[in-house]
C-alpha cells in the first residue's frame, strides 16, 4: 500500500529551506519514515520501497537508515548534498539498486562506528527504473565512517557500485563482491576480423578498379606495406592516407571507432580470446607476417586467429566510475567472478593514496583510460585472465590508424602509472601476454614503495619504467619461476633478507618488476624462489635481468 507524505515549503524553489534529520527504518516488508511532517520533501512509500524527493537547495539533508528488509529500496533525488548514515542496515532489493541516488550534488554514505551494514541486489534488467548496481549514483559519491559496509551483487548483470561522477572512499571497511554472470557477449566490433579488402588482401582478390588504383601507388609502399596479401609485421611502415580511396578511408575510420570502443571496454588482447595484447616497450609488431592477410576467425575457427578480446553485455564489475576513483584510507576488498568483470574501473583515473586495498578480478583488477596513481596504499591487485593494473593513457591511434601500425603509435613520455610509495603487488595469473603493470606505450614512474609484479608482455617484455622515470632503482626479472604459496625472497649482498612474499598461484615464466626502498645504485641483490635464483647489480636506475 502506497503512502504519500508531503509538506512543501511555499518558497522551496526560490529560497533555501532548513534541513532536518530523517530516519528510515526498514522492518521486513515495510519502511517507516519519520518525522511524518517533512519540510520541502515528498516521500512515497510502497511496502519497503521508499521514493524521496527533496527540494532543499543548499543545506545538507541528513538521512539515517537502519533495519532489515529482503525486498526494499531507497530512491533519492535532492537538489542539495545528502549525508546517509547506515546503522546496522541489512537491505536487499530483489530487482534494481537498493540505493538509487539521483543527486547531481555529492552524496556521502557513512557506515556508523562499530556497525556492520549489508546492501544486496538480487536481479537486474535494462529498464530505466531498475539501475543495475547495488549503489547507483548520478553524482559524486563518498564513502566514509568507522563501520563496515558489505556490497553484494548476486544477480546476473549486476555491478557493485556505479557512479557517473567521482567515487571517494576513506576510513571505513568496505567489501564489494559480485557473483552474477554477465548478460552475454557482444558481437565482435570488427565483424570477425580486419576488413582487409583495401590494404591487406592479395591483388587478385580486389575489384579490378582497386587493382589499377593500387598499381599507381608508390611501389615501395606497395611492396613493404600492403602487397602480396600479407600483413607485414616486421615493423609496419608508415603509410600515406592520401593514397587511400574514400571507401578505404571510411572503412579505416570505422575500424578506429570500433577499436576505441573496444579499448574503453578493457583493451586490445590477443591470443585465446581472453588473452591480452600488451603494448609496453616494443616498437612495432615483432612478427614475420602471416603470408595471407591477417586471419581473424576468433577462437581459432576457420583458420583464423583468436585476436579480439571478447566483449560482454552487463559485465558484473566491482566499482565503476565514469570519472575518478579515489581511496584515501580504510580497508577495501573487491572481488568479481565472471568474464569481463573488472574490479575497480575509473574512466578518468584511479588514485590510491592510502589504506589497504585487495582486488581479485577475472578481468583487469584495476583499470583506467587515464593515469593510475599509487601514493602510499598497500595494494594487492590480482587478475585471473587479464592485466592486474592497466592504465590506457596513450592514444594508440595518434597519427591515424596507420600510426598504430608503425606510424604514430609511439612511446608516450607521460607516465601512465605513477608509484610513489606503499606496497604494490600486481599479479596477472594468466601470464604472457598479460601483465602485472600494463600501460601500453607509456612509461611507469617509480619514486618509492615496494613493488612486485607477476605476468609478462609480448616477448617477455612488459610495460616498464625508463632510466628517467625510475627514481628508485628498479629491476625487471625475466624468466622468474613462481610456485604457488612458496616464498619469493629478496636478499642484499650480505645475505640479509630484505623482503619475502608468496603468490597464490604458479607461473612458470614471469617478467616481474621489483623494487624496494632499500635498493641502492651499485649494490648487488639476489632473488630466490623454489626453482630460480638470480643475482644482479643495480648499475643503472632501471635494469633488465635475464
**Measured between alpha carbons, how far is 163 from 140 in angstroms, rounded to an integer?**
7
Which pLDDT value is given to residue 241? Answer: 54
419, part of any domain: no
Per-residue confidence (pLDDT) for residue 21, from 0 to 100: 87
Residues of the chain with pLDDT > 70, as a percent, come to 68
Cα–Cα distance list, 93 to 3, 90, 151, 247, 361 (Å)? 19, 10, 12, 51, 24
Flag whether 426 is in a domain: no
Give the total number of structural domains in the chain: 1
162, pLDDT greater than 70:
yes
Q: How far apart are CA 216 and CA 271, in angstroms?
A: 36
Residues 207-230 pLDDT 10s: 444 444 443 333 333 333 333 333
pLDDT at 238 over 70: no
Distance of alpha carbon 250 from alpha carbon 479, whole angstroms: 44
Q: Quick check: 278 and 436 in contact, CB under 8 A?
A: no
Instruction: Say how far apart CA 233 and CA 292 lie, in whole Å.
Output: 12
Q: How confident is the model at residue 312 (pLDDT cuts 50, 70, 90)?
A: confident
Run of H or E residues at 215: helix 208-215
Pairwise CA distance, residues 54 & 289, whole Å: 63
pLDDT at 275: 35
Q: What is the pLDDT of residues 438-449, one digit of tens each?
A: 988 789 999 999
Q: For residue 497, which phi and psi values (nearest 5 degrees)? A: -70, 120
261 lies in some domain: yes
State which of 14-23, 285-294, 489-498 shows the largest mean pLDDT: 489-498
Domain membership of residue 298 as a residue range: 203-303
d(CA 220, CA 218): 6
Residue range 115-155, pLDDT digits in tens: 999 999 998 875 545 689 999 999 999 999 999 999 999 99
pLDDT of residue 444: 95
Digit-coded pLDDT (tens) for 478-520: 999 999 999 999 999 999 999 999 999 999 899 999 999 999 9
Let me know if residue 400 belongs to a domain.
no
CB-CB neighbours of 313 under 10 Å: 12
Contact partners, residue 403, CB within 8 Å, separation at least 6: 238, 397, 409, 410
Query: Average pLDDT, whole number, for the chain?
Result: 79
Q: Is residue 225 part of a domain?
A: yes
28-36: long-range contacts (C-beta < 8 A, 24 or more apart)? 28/68, 28/69, 28/70, 29/69, 29/71, 30/69, 31/67, 31/69, 31/72, 33/5, 36/5
Q: Has residue 247 been placed in a domain? A: yes
Q: Does some domain include residue 464? A: no
Cα separation of 305 and 308, whole Å?
9
Q: What does the alpha-carbon distance between residue 409 and residue 240 come to, in Å, rounded to a whole number?
A: 15
Cell digits of residue 322: 565514469
Would you state the cell numbers that stand for residue 96, as one nine-digit string? 534494481
Question: How confident is residue 395, by pLDDT bands cut at 50, 70 and 90?
Answer: low
Contact assessment for residue 318 and residue 159, using Cβ atoms and an 8 Å cutoff: yes
Residue 365, pLDDT above cutoff 50: yes
Q: Provide mean pLDDT across the span 522-526.
A: 98
DSSP state of 187: P
C-alpha 546/C-alpha 544 separation (Å) is 7
Structure confidence at residue 328 as a pLDDT band (50, 70, 90): very high
What is residue 431's predicted lDDT score, i.e. its pLDDT?
79
Higher-confidence residue: 2 or 13?
2
Domain contains 65? no
Amino acid at each position: 500500500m502506497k503512502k504519500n507524505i508531503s509538506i512543501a515549503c511555499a518558497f522551496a524553489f526560490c529560497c533555501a529551506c532548513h534541513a532536518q534529520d530523517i530516519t528510515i527504518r526498514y522492518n521486513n516488508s515495510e519502511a517507516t519514515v519519520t518525522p511524518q511532517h517533512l519540510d520541502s520533501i515528498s516521500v512515497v512509500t510502497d511496502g519497503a520501497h521508499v521514493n524521496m524527493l527533496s527540494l532543499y537547495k543548499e543545506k545538507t539533508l541528513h538521512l539515517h537508515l537502519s533495519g532489515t528488509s529482503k525486498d526494499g529500496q531507497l530512491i533519492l533525488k535532492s537538489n542539495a548534498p545528502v549525508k546517509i548514515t547506515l546503522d546496522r542496515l541489512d537491505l536487499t532489493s530483489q530487482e534494481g539498486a537498493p540505493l538509487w541516488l539521483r543527486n547531481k550534488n555529492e552524496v556521502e554514505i557513512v557506515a556508523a562506528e562499530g556497525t556492520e551494514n549489508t546492501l544486496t541486489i538480487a536481479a537486474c534488467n535494462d529498464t530505466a527504473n531498475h539501475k543495475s548496481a547495488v549503489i547507483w549514483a548520478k553524482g559524486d559519491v563518498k564513502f566514509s565512517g568507522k563501520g563496515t559496509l558489505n556490497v553484494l551483487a548476486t544477480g546476473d548483470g549486476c555491478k557493485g557500485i556505479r557512479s557517473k561522477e567521482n567515487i571517494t572512499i576513506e576510513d571505513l571497511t568496505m567489501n564489494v563482491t559480485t557473483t552474477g554472470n554477465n548478460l552475454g557477449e557482444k558481437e565482435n566490433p570488427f565483424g570477425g576480423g580486419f576488413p582487409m579488402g583495401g590494404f591487406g588482401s592479395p591483388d587478385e582478390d580486389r575489384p579490378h578498379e582497386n587493382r589499377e588504383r593500387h598499381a599507381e601507388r608508390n611501389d615501395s609502399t606497395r611492396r613493404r606495406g600492403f602487397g602480396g596479401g600479407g600483413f607485414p609485421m616486421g615493423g609496419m611502415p608508415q603509410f600515406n592516407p592520401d593514397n587511400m580511396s574514400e571507401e578505404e578511408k571510411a572503412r579505416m575510420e570505422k575500424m578506429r571507432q570500433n577499436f576505441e570502443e573496444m579499448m574503453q571496454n578493457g583493451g586490445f588482447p590477443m591470443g585465446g580470446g581472453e588473452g591480452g595484447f600488451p603494448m609496453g616497450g616494443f616498437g612495432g609488431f615483432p612478427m614475420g607476417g602471416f603470408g595471407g592477410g591477417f586471419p581473424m576467425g576468433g577462437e581459432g575457427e576457420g583458420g583464423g586467429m583468436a585476436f579480439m578480446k571478447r566483449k560482454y553485455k552487463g559485465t558484473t564489475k566491482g566499482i565503476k566510475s565514469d570519472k575518478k576513483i579515489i581511496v584515501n584510507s580504510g580497508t577495501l576488498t573487491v572481488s568479481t567472478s565472471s568474464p569481463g568483470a573488472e574490479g575497480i574501473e575509473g574512466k578518468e583515473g584511479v588514485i590510491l593514496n592510502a589504506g589497504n586495498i585487495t582486488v581479485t578480478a577475472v578481468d583487469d583488477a584495476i583499470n583506467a583510460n587515464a593515469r593510475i596513481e599509487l601514493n602510499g596504499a598497500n595494494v594487492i591487485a590480482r587478475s585471473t585472465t587479464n592485466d592486474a593494473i592497466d592504465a590506457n593513457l596513450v592514444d594508440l591511434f595518434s597519427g591515424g590508424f596507420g600510426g598504430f601500425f608503425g606510424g604514430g603509435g609511439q612511446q608516450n613520455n607521460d607516465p601512465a602509472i605513477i608509484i610513489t610509495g606503499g606496497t604494490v603487488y600486481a599479479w596477472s595469473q594468466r601470464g604472457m601476454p598479460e601483465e602485472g603493470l600494463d600501460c601500453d606505450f607509456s612509461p611507469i614512474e617509480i619514486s618509492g614503495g615496494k613493488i612486485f609484479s607477476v605476468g609478462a608482455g609480448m616477448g617477455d617484455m612488459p610495460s616498464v619504467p625508463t632510466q628517467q622515470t625510475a627514481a628508485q632503482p628498479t629491476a625487471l626479472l625475466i624468466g622468474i619461476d613462481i610456485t604457488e604459496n612458496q616464498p619469493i625472497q629478496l636478499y642484499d649482498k650480505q645475505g640479509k633478507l630484505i623482503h619475502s612474499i608468496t603468490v597464490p598461484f604458479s607461473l612458470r615464466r614471469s617478467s616481474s618488476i621489483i623494487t624496494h626502498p632499500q635498493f641502492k645504485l651499485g649494490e648487488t641483490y639476489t632473488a630466490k624462489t623454489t626453482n630460480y635464483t638470480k643475482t644482479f647489480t643495480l648499475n643503472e636506475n632501471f635494469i633488465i635481468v635475464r
